[in-house]
Amino acid sequence: MSIEVKVPSLPESVADATLVTWHKAAGDTVERDENLADLETDKVVLEVPAPARGVLRELRVPGGTTVTSGQLLAILDPAAEVSAARPVPAAAAVVPPVAVVAPVAALAGRSAGKTGPAARRVLQEKGIDAATVQGSGPDGRIMKADVLKQDASSPAMRQVPAAQSPVSPVVAPGGRVERRVAMSRLRTRIAQRMVEAQQNAAMLTTFNEVDLSAVMALRARYKDTFESQHGVKLGFMSFFVKAAIEALQRYPVVNASVEGNDIVYHDYYDVGIAVSTDRGLIVPVLRDADRFTFPGIEGAIAEFGRKAREGALSMDDLTGGTFTLTNGGVFGSLLSTPILNPPQSGILGMHKIQERPVVVDGQVVARPMMYVALTYDHRIIDGRDAVQFLVTMKNTLEDPARLLLGV
């Protein structure tokens, strides 16, 4: 008896998804729980697992199609064996459009270990045979970092000749060549949200600078002991999360949001921490961040980073949030004005730590300084609250003992 392969239940906040890639073709034998296709939503890439071992008799939806929860994708014959597999008539076969790279199916089928969406994308882009990649993840799972280590220039690893590139060059006026590539769903959603934020909020940014001498001294003193005892590195973000929570508790309107004519005050602290991925900027949420210790915060951030690299962040990881931290300093940014992450009313931009001359007790000295920027919704947050919020963060970071004493 045939089994219908359907779109898994999508999260409540997600209306539809795009079937990005089929990893199997009609007539292929598949194993139970083997990934058949990737579905891309506005935030994450989901996998469609095979419900049983068998043969794919028919693909009902081509790559690049927008699908909804429960929609029929394929027909699977669980009773069929490899030798019984019959080719599907050409009329019934579904061929992905040019924008979706068909060779990925071959890559996935020959993979020695399971690959996440991020790793598969790099395999596709570089034309690397997944069977040649040694996975370093759990159960031999191929990670994005594993793929990047491979020498993609080796002929033995090439699957896709250059002539089969999914992006065709276009001759622009004057004989110059340009490329046209469709935005991913994530990039499209990011663009929409950025425009919405600018259209729907009265955004204003205030700045300050922080002397991180005390934080850096404390970190240097305890980082080895911290890592040996807790198994994670002591970074700067945990200090900023703690300082932000202290400031949010003093100025709760920065942790609020606007709904119609109401101000919604959130009596909890779900802090979003922006993470850059090859698909774009995403913001996993550290829920009830005020309950976390320093090791807990650092461990959660490390886990977010791992899941982001593997393309394993869930919708639950990315939804909600009452305030956001974004660190452009890791890329060398010295100063910027971050854009709000709706419906939040505040976002803190961190920047590069740079030694600069400052006056301390009448003397000019070099100190590790960071510019910080708070973008806020001026509809509900007054300038005084925004400035004092940043001053609270500055005072806390310049004297971390305040975190213990609550002063």
Sign of CA dihedral 98, 99, 101, 105: negative
Helix (H) or strand (E) holding 218: helix 213-230
CB 328 within 8 A of CB 336: yes
Whether 382 is a known active-site residue: answer yes
Q: How far apart are CA 106 and CA 56, in angstroms?
A: 15
Q: How far apart are CA 153 and CA 228, in angstroms?
A: 40
Longest CA–CA span in the chain (Å) reads 86
C-alpha to C-alpha distances, 105 to 37, 51, 101, 120, nearest whole angstrom: 9, 18, 9, 10
3-state secondary structure 364-381: EEEEEEEEEEEEEECCCC
Tokens linked to 93: 């076969």
Q: How far apart are CA 207 and CA 352, in angstroms?
A: 14
Tokens linked to 307: 């899941």
Count of alpha carbons within 13 Å of 53, Cβ hemisphere only?
Answer: 3
Of residues 230, 266, 378, 385, which has the active-site annotation? 378
Pairing between strand 271-273 and 323-327?
Answer: parallel
Where do the H-state alpha helices sit in 51-115? Answer: 103-109
Report phi then psi at 140, rounded to 5: 75, 15
Whether 224 is a known active-site residue: answer no
Of residues 151, 278, 316, 382, which has the active-site annotation? 382
Q: What angle do CA 114, 120, 126 make, to 5 degrees?
A: 135
Q: How far apart are CA 390 and CA 346, in angstroms?
A: 11
**What number of residues does the chain have?**
407
Q: Rounded to an integer, what is the distance from CA 42 to the centroid of its chain?
A: 11
Q: How far apart are CA 148 and CA 135, in angstroms?
A: 11
Calculate the dihedral angle through the C-alpha atoms of 300, 301, 304, 308, rounding to the nearest 10 degrees.
-170
Count of alpha carbons within 13 Å of 340, Cβ hemisphere only?
Answer: 27
Q: Which residues are annotated as catalytic?
A: 378, 382
